[in-house]
Amino acid sequence: MTLPAIPGHGSTLVVHDTASGERVPVSGRDGTATMYVCGITPYDATHLGHAATYVTFDLVGRALRDAGLTVRYVQNVTDVDDPLLERAARDGVDWSDLAAAEIALFREDMTALGVMPPDELVGVVESIDLIAAAVRELVDAGVTYGLPGDDTEGEDLYLDLAQADSFGSISRWTREQMDLVIRERGGDPDRPGKRDPLDPLVWRSARPGEPSWTPAGLPPGRPGWHIECTAIAADRLGLPVDIQGGGSDLVFPHHEMSAAQSEAIEEAYAAAYVHQEMVGLDGAKMSKSKGNLVLVSRLRADGIDPMAIRLLLLAHRFDAPWDYTDAALATAVERRERWLAGLSVTEGPPAEPVIAAIRAAIADNLDTPRALAAVDEWAQRAVSGGPGDPAAPGLLARALDRLLGIRL
Ligand code: 5CA
Ligand code: ZN
């Protein structure tokens, strides 16, 4: 996917970093910025929450490029994990077939939404060896311990958080906050024998009926969730990455643990942690496990233009949670029509000030509502007529494509 060229360039992106609680500039190093965004667990179709996350990081990538940086963007796919295995067992399908089908649908949805594909989409299954090497590094550093499983020959390996000095520095949560969510977010605090109930699993030894691998130096088994992302990010991009991204449900434990593991082998994990706040439905987080979903593929099948879906997402700031409503979707559909009418005039108000306003709004912590308002105003003036610049509609159309990923 190539970005249309427009005159000028954007300024340095400044974005809210969860770990420092401050807005930080993303300047990259030697002209390149690296971005690792936590990808899908492919057991169900893409919902608007996932879409919000990937559109947000798509905008980040566009802003960084517009500021003159080269972007190296990697996303993982958690293509073997408990919820995926459970769903496949429930539906009587092979887990890897289920994953392949959902990954294909995800890519189709992302393409429709104008999301530029990452440079690499890296599966866990194809990365077992490099993840296992990271597990062994932790073992060699002496920061893990083993626990015998009920029905396994080998031991499950856990990270000993007592040895992770900076644990807590990413989320800055209290122990009470951590204890409250760990169970529902993939942890196993009730497992007997753990040194700390929060200690994350780094290697799960093989159970009957579960997929497993036998990399050198480890018992047959499969990786724990957090080490997958630490290892893939390190392998593909080098640490620290400039941006570790994902939804805010990953602040704790996922990104906290990913960083703890990385620091246990003495590497800082990320310069900035950027999180898309949760998209909900009727007051609850939209999630595959709850099933309260608005699917991108469903909206598309219902005839909603994908650019209207993208405008619905862009109408909300990334750093505040929001709930889907049909009314907000209707507003986005209508906005798309108004923009289309504005861009269809033969001459319009000058595009340069609007482009400058979009660039400034996005560089200012991704203020998408402000960027959309600038275009709304231009479209309004364009349709109300009067002499203008014949080059303006075309130039603005290219800028909307380049900066916002809106192609009308
Ligand atoms: N595979 C892991 C990350 S390594 C995972 O969280 N997969 S996921 O399929 O559950 O979510 C994919 C991405 O969408 C993650 O970045 C997650 O934080 C984000 N996400 C999930 N639900 C929502 C939601 N309701 N609103 C916004 N983002 C969400
Ligand atoms: Zn991840």
Q: What is the dihedral of CA 186, 187, 191, 195, to 10 degrees?
A: 160
Angle at 40 between CA 165 and CA 178, to 5 degrees: 35
Query: Is residue 67 exposed (0-12), middle (13-18) or buried (19+ Cβ within 10 Å)?
Result: buried
CB 249 within 8 A of CB 275: no
The CB of 41 under 6 Å from ligand 1? The reply is yes
Q: Is the CB of 285 under 6 A from ligand 1?
A: yes
pTM score: 0.97
- Rounded to 5 degrees, φ, ψ at 225 are -65, -50
Q: Output the CA–CA distances (angstroms, integers) from residue 202 to 77, 143, 229, 231, 402, in the order listed.
A: 17, 11, 11, 11, 41
Burial code (b: 16+ CB inside 10 Å, e: under 16) for 220-255 equals ebbbbbbbbbbbbbbbbbebbbbbbbbbbbbbbbbb
Angle between helices 368-383 and 306-314 (to 10 degrees): 120
Does the C-beta of 246 come closer than 6 Å to ligand 1? yes
Mutate to test the pocket of ligand 1, among 38, 84, 171, 285 (most ligand atoms within 8 A of CB): 38
**Chain centre distance of CA 197:** 27
Residue 193 Cα, ligand 1 centroid: separation in angstroms? Answer: 30
Q: Which atom of ligand 1 is nearest to the CA of 228?
A: 4
What was the pLDDT predicted at 3? 94
Nearest CA to ligand 1 atom 23: 49
Question: What pLDDT shows up at residue 125?
Answer: 98
Measure the CA–CA gap between 112 and 405, rounded to whole angstroms. 11
What string of DSSP letters covers 370-384? HHHHHHHHHHHHHHT
Q: Minimal CA–CA distance to 257: which of 173, 155, 159?
A: 159
Q: Which DSSP string do the residues of 227-240 spell out, in sequence order?
A: HHHHHHHHHHH-SS
Give the closest ligand to the alpha carbon of residue 47. 1
Q: Does ligand 1 have an atom closer than 6 angstroms to the CB of 155?
A: no
Q: Chunked in runs of 10, what are the mean pLDDT values of the chain (408 residues)?
A: 93 98 98 98 96 98 98 98 95 97 98 98 98 97 94 91 96 98 97 97 95 95 98 97 98 98 92 98 86 94 98 98 97 98 97 98 98 98 91 98 98
Calculate how far, in angstroms, residue 47's C-alpha sits from the geometric centre of ligand 2.
18
Q: Is the CB of 312 under 6 A from ligand 1?
A: no
Q: Is the CB of 78 under 6 A from ligand 1?
A: yes
Question: Is the beta carbon of 242 within 6 A of some atom in ligand 1?
Answer: no
Task: Please name each of the domains of the chain with its CATH number.
Answer: 13-281 (3.40.50.620), 298-404 (1.20.120.640)
Instruction: Give the per-residue pLDDT at 78.
Output: 98
* Cα 275 from Cα 154, distance rounded (Å): 37
Residue 340: strand, helix, or coil: helix
Sorted by sequence, the CB contacts under 8 Å of residue 115 that are 6+ apart come out as 54, 55, 58, 405
Our answer on whether the CB atom of 240 is closer than 6 Å to any ligand 1 atom is: no
pLDDT of residue 265: 84
In whole angstroms, give the CA distance from residue 106 to residue 285: 20
Nearest ligand, CA of residue 244?
Answer: 2
Tokens encoding 162: 């007592």
CA distances from 48 to 283, 309, 344, 386 (A): 14, 9, 29, 39
Q: Mutation test of ligand 1: which of 36, 46, 250 has the most ligand atoms closer than 8 Å to its C-beta? A: 250
Q: What is the DSSP string of 113-178?
A: TTPPPPSEEEESGGGHHHHHHHHHHHHHTT-EEEEE-TT-SSEEEEE-GGG-TTTTTTT---HHHH
Determine the atom of ligand 1 nearest the C-alpha atom of 81.
1
- Residue 387, preceding peptide bond in cis (omega within 30° of 0): no
Whether the Cβ atoms of residue 122 and residue 230 lie closer than 8 Å to each other: no
Q: Is 286 in the pocket of ligand 1 (CB under 6 A)?
A: yes
User: Is the shortest distance between the CB of 110 and ligand 1 below 6 Å?
Assistant: no
